[in-house]
Amino acid sequence: MITVKNLYHQFELGKKGNKTTLPVLEDISFRIQEKEIVAIKGRSGSGKSTLLNLISGFIRPTQGEIWINGTNVTELNETDFAEFRLQYIGFIFQNFQLIPSMTAFQNIELPLILKGTPASARQKIVEETLEKVGLQNHKEHYPSELSGGQQQRVSIARALVLNPPLILADEPTGSLDSETEENLLHFIEQLNRDLGITFLIITHDEQVARIGNRTIEIADGSLLEGSDSREI
Amino acid sequence: MKFKDQYQFVSQNIKKNKIRVFMTVLATAIGCAFLIVLASVGFGLHDSILKETMEDRAVTEVQVHGRETDGNYQPLTDEDIDFFESLEGVKAVTRNKQLYQTPTYKLEDYQAQSNTLVSHFPSEVKAGLELSEGRLPEKENEVIVGYNFRSNLLLSDVNQEELYNDQDEPKDKYLYQDSLIGKVMDMEVIQINDNQEETKSISLKIVGVTEKPGREWEEDRSVYISNSVLKEVEEFTGTARGMVDSPGGEQQGPELEIGAYDQVTIYATSIETVKQVSEQLETENYASYSVISEMEQINILFTIMKAGLILIGTIAVLIASIGIYNTMTMAVTERAPDIGIMKAIGAKPKIIKRIFVLESSLIGLAGAVIGTIVAYVISFAVNIGLPLIIESAFNEELPPGLKFSMIPWTLVLIAVGICLVVTILSGLRPAKRATQIDVLKAMRREV
């Protein structure tokens, strides 16, 4: 599903004429199989979020390749990567990243709109997805009217609505209390089991890492020795 | 993303900022209304002048003044007339000769001195000459008189002071009152031989009276005689066109060619063929004039004027576009986090751009529609109100049918087009900025 080959990334700091570079990832290689739940664990500043952003296409690597579902995404331009994300990747963010002026229904509907799904079909798909996440009674609520756990469920519903084979989750439980966290992790496991969705979860939380089939540890921009990277 | 969804997306965004969008639409509407009203003055005056020109003279007329040969203008002769008649698109060629003396016409106790023209009646009929009464001459001594000829025909044995009123107009009681049709009058022409004035009288029967001239101030007091009457006059005077010799024995007027015409008018079969006839005449070095050519000049002048007015009006729209630019820039800044989320989940830059361009286009379109309606109202009010103001303020009556402002559909199209182009252009930069928003920064609310 995901193959990362010799990935390097460095940030450019400073202004023109006085630029310095800050290496954040060095020679990262790993492979993730279909239907796996893989946790990428690391401390703050270890480079795990940068790794996720590189896989998501939000930033471009300095060097190396990322293959998702047989496509070398590092070669895609911005438009093609957007199309690719829409088709193959669902996102769950730490801060939910819901559009505040849209209801739960409208937030979940957004990927379908972007894909050009007809309005008549959208209604049914969104209703079904809302049911999956148990929010059928909250569809007209705005994010500000929902609890943290409910917002995260809307975020998951939005990620699920186009049935992507892969979901990238960045600290999905970071803004939740322990009980809600527990429920969410069960839900992720259930989705993986029932729908065969591959999950790549970025976390610093041991408990979250535990639901993964395996854990890849990252420290100071490199994979830790002993990480189960299923080397290429 | 379907257009309908884009539209819904945009309308939701507009609803969120109703006041700001309303003010921007208002600015655009004012700009658009200003552009239309300003240009409508050009369109209105152009239309009024064209109508006036068309009403005054026959549109299919081409007047030919002469032919240029070796740098000199030669008068037109029968040879030229034959050429004109052979041209494609020519319906009739009327030709007049002027009698070079003013004969005295005597009818019973009344007499008049009138300008006398020699007309070719068959061609006049072809050209569509209309009479107010009577018929066209059929015999050699039959003539028609101008509509106002009667005003010249005054009682002969009354002294001049008594004849006229204070406005120097003949008193009604001294004017000929009966119908002129069928009346026989004498045309008296003179010639000076050996310092002695000799007179010849020719009897002419009035068979028709021409139609009233088109304009109120125009008068037709002429007598239209046939070519054979002219020949009789020329035989008596021994000069071309009956020119009177001066007492010294020399001719008083210019040297004249026998058979040359003073006024030749070509009537084209339709407005479309006027240009074709004029071009053929130009090729053959004839000096000609037609209303159409005058209209072309008027059209060129007014087109330049209208273009200038539209340009000035466009400045107002450009000023309004600054408002749109500002509104759209604020919209992009405010919605940066939303744009970031949309991009993250798979919105293509093209779609983001299209949404913002659509928003600015809708603002422009709404402004253009409202501006057009307002412009129509202003135009209507100006056409009614301004003549009243001018008439009361300057005490001057304006020509009937004068339009100060006219808004044809072409002007509406031009104005709406300009509005849309300007608003789309002003929305392009903010829209491009929206596509360049960094996903991560936007999601962190750092934009």
User: What distance in Å separates residue B326's CA from the closest CA in chain A?
Assistant: 22
Q: Do B345 and A91 touch (CB under 8 A)?
A: yes
Res B390: pLDDT = 84
CB atoms within 10 A of CB B353: 19
Q: Do B345 and A79 touch (CB under 8 A)?
A: no
Res B397: pLDDT = 75
Q: Do A79 and B350 touch (CB under 8 A)?
A: yes
Q: Do B443 and A95 touch (CB under 8 A)?
A: yes
Q: Do B344 and A85 touch (CB under 8 A)?
A: yes
Q: Is B98 helix (H, G, I), strand (E, B) or coil?
A: strand
Q: Please give the Cα distance from A105 to B1 (Å, whole number).
A: 17
Predicted confidence pLDDT, tens digits, chain A (232 residues): 899 999 999 988 888 778 888 888 999 999 999 999 999 988 888 888 899 999 999 999 999 999 998 899 999 999 999 999 999 999 998 888 999 989 999 999 999 999 999 988 999 999 999 988 888 899 999 999 998 889 988 999 999 999 999 999 998 887 777 788 888 888 888 889 888 999 999 988 888 878 888 888 898 888 886 666 565 4
Res A183: pLDDT = 83
Residue A79 is nearest to which of B2, B4, B349, comparing CB atoms? B349
User: With an 8 Å Cβ cutoff, is B443 touching chain A?
Assistant: yes
User: What distance in Å separates residue B49's CA from the closest CA in chain A?
Assistant: 56
Angstrom CA distances, B327 to B115, B423, B430, stand at: 75, 11, 9
Residue A99 is nearest to which of B341, B343, B346, comparing CB atoms? B341
Q: Do A119 and B9 touch (CB under 8 A)?
A: no
User: What distance in Å separates residue B321's CA from the closest CA in chain A?
Assistant: 27
Element (H, E) at B197: strand B196-210
Q: Please give the Cα distance from A113 to B347 (Å, whole number).
A: 10
Residue B344 is nearest to which of A79, A87, A91, comparing CB atoms? A91
Task: Enumerate the residues of chain A whose CB falls inside 8 A of the CB of residue B15.
Answer: none
Q: Is B319 helix (H, G, I), strand (E, B) or coil?
A: helix
Task: Enumerate the residues of chain A whose CB falls inside 8 A of the CB of residue B346.
Answer: 82-87, 89, 111, 114-115
Res B258: pLDDT = 64
Interface of B with A in 309-338 (CB under 8 A): 338
Task: Enumerate the residues of chain A whose CB falls inside 8 A of the CB of residue B437.
Answer: none
The nearest alpha carbon in chain B to A112 belongs to: B1
Task: Enumerate the residues of chain A whose CB falls inside 8 A of the CB of residue B343.
Answer: 82
Q: Quick one: CATH architecture of A2-223?
A: 3-Layer(aba) Sandwich (3.40)
The nearest alpha carbon in chain A to B338 belongs to: A99
User: With an 8 Å Cβ cutoff, is B344 touching chain A?
Assistant: yes
Q: Do B344 and A58 touch (CB under 8 A)?
A: yes
Q: Please give the Cα distance from B155 to B435 (Å, whole number).
A: 95
What is the ipTM metric for this complex? 0.91
What spatial distance separates the first Cα and last Cα of chain B, rounded to whole Å? 25
Predicted confidence pLDDT, tens digits, chain B (447 residues): 888 888 888 888 888 888 999 999 999 999 999 999 999 999 998 888 877 766 655 678 888 988 888 878 888 888 899 999 998 888 899 998 889 889 999 988 898 999 999 988 888 888 877 888 998 888 888 999 999 998 888 888 877 777 787 777 888 888 888 889 999 999 999 988 888 888 999 999 999 999 888 666 778 899 999 888 998 998 898 888 888 887 665 555 555 566 788 889 998 887 778 888 888 888 888 888 887 777 778 888 888 998 999 999 899 888 888 988 998 999 899 999 999 999 999 999 999 999 999 999 999 999 999 999 999 999 999 988 888 888 888 877 777 777 889 999 999 999 999 999 999 999 999 999 999 999 999 988 876
| Cα–Cα nearest to B187, from B101, B95, B98, B96 | B101
Res B57: pLDDT = 53
| Cα–Cα nearest to A136, from A149, A118, A154 | A154
Amino acid at B302: F
Q: Do B345 and A158 touch (CB under 8 A)?
A: yes
Q: Do B345 and A99 touch (CB under 8 A)?
A: no
HSE (side-chain half, CA atoms, 13 Å) at A142: 5
- How big is chain A by its Cα radius of gyration, in Å? 18
Bridge partners for B133 per DSSP: B209
Identify the contact set of chain A against chain B, taking CB-CB distances under 8 A: 53, 56, 58-59, 78-79, 82-87, 89, 91, 93, 95, 97-99, 101, 110-111, 113-116, 118-119, 158
Res B288: pLDDT = 86
**DSSP category for residue B447:** -
Q: Do A113 and B338 touch (CB under 8 A)?
A: no
Q: Please give the Cα distance from B32 to B419 (Å, whole number).
A: 7
The nearest alpha carbon in chain B to A53 belongs to: B440
B398: which residues sit within 8 A by CB, 6+ positions away? Answer: B387, B390, B391
Give long-range contacts, CB 8 A cutoff, 24+ apart: B277-280. Answer: B277/B62, B277/B87, B277/B89, B277/B90, B278/B62, B280/B87, B280/B88
Res A105: pLDDT = 95
The nearest alpha carbon in chain A to B440 belongs to: A58
